[in-house]
Structure 1
Amino acid sequence: MARLHIALLALLPIFFILTVLSEVESAAVKDGKEKDSEHQGPSKKVFVPASDASNFFKRRGRRSPKLYAEYVAEHKMQVAASERRREYYDEQSNEYENHLEESRNEQRERNRENAEQWREYHYDGIYPHYPHHRPYY
């Protein structure tokens, strides 16, 4: 029972705030059901009809030519994007080449060590260790 009283007391201020704020005029655009005679003053300058609002950012038509500044801005963006792309791929290829070089060096070192161990194990003392001292057959 005490929980019910606490919940009702917590919800009572929220209900009061919502009822008071519903009567206050807000900054939201009206849906056009009220008359325009109610809105006079600075709000008349801020809010525009829906047809003008939808075309506000579309000042240039689809078929009209772009301004030179727009071409320049688009070109700069394309150049910057291609530069970033080129730097990224250069960095990736450099990292891959470094990785390949390291792995090849490690493989060569392992092969050299294996060959050296094989030579030491199989050396019978007849021929020298080095291939340029071996006779040709």
Structure 2
Amino acid sequence: MTWTPPVLLSLLAALLILAARFGAEGAAVKKDKVDEKVAADPQGSARRIFMHESDASNFFKRRGRRSVTSQNELMAEYRQRLAADENRREYNEEQRTEYENYMEEVRDEQAERTRETTEQWREFHYDGLYPSYHRYYK
């Protein structure tokens, strides 16, 4: 039962706040030019949102799915397509050069390791009787 007074107190406070809020909106308000405009134009906000049927049909006739696009629109789309192709080409070229550089480094490291192991093998197995491997006879 210790929770009852705080809950009732908070509900009472909320009720007072709501009553004061709605009571302030319901207070006497002067009639000014805004009310005159609303009275003169009963569809004020609706007129700003919706358009007349004839305007809507003309809009859709002009911009239908099968309507002819203007030359400026075609050129703008073409420029966008060219720019996208150029960006894609540059990106692919950059990725290719990065991969080629990486593979060249990997091949160089592998060749160096192979050369070192081969050299160590030759030094270990060379008995001094034969010339080294890289000399040729005429």
- Do these two structures clear the TM 0.5 threshold for a shared fold by scoring above it? yes
Deviations 1:76-123, CA, capped at 9 Å, x for gaps: 110011011101110111111011101100000000000010011001
Q: Relative contact order, CA 8 A, sep 6+: which one is greater?
A: 1
Instruction: Please say if 1:76 is aligned against 2:62.
Output: no
Which residue in the other structure is 1:125 paired with? 128
| Percent of aligned positions that are identical | 42
Name the structure 2 match of 1:89: 92
Deviation per CA, 1:44-92, whole angstroms, max 9, x where unpaired?
A: 6522248679779743222221101100110011001101110111011
Amino acid at match of 2:119: E
Aligned to 2:50: 48
* Partner SS, residue 135 of structure 2: helix
Q: Does residue 1:98 correspond to 2:101, yes or no?
A: yes
Which of the residues 107, 110, 117 maps onto 2:110? 107
Aligned length: 118
Q: Structure 2: give runs of 5+ residues left out of the alignment.
A: 26-40
The verdict on how the C-alpha distance between 1:131 and 1:60 changes in structure 2, with shifts beyond 3 A counting, is same
Match runs of 1:50-65 below 5 Å:
58=60, 59-65=62-68
Instruction: Give the 3 Å change call, closer, same or farther, for CA 72–113 of structure 1 in structure 2.
Output: same
State the 1:130 CA deviation.
4.3
TM-score by length of 2: 0.65
TM-score by length of 1: 0.65
| RMSD (Å), alpha carbons | 3.5
| Unaligned ranges ≥5, structure 1 | 22-36
Of Structure 1 and Structure 2, the greater helix share is in: 2
1:21-50 deviations in whole A, cap 9, x for unaligned? 8xxxxxxxxxxxxxxx6324xx36522248
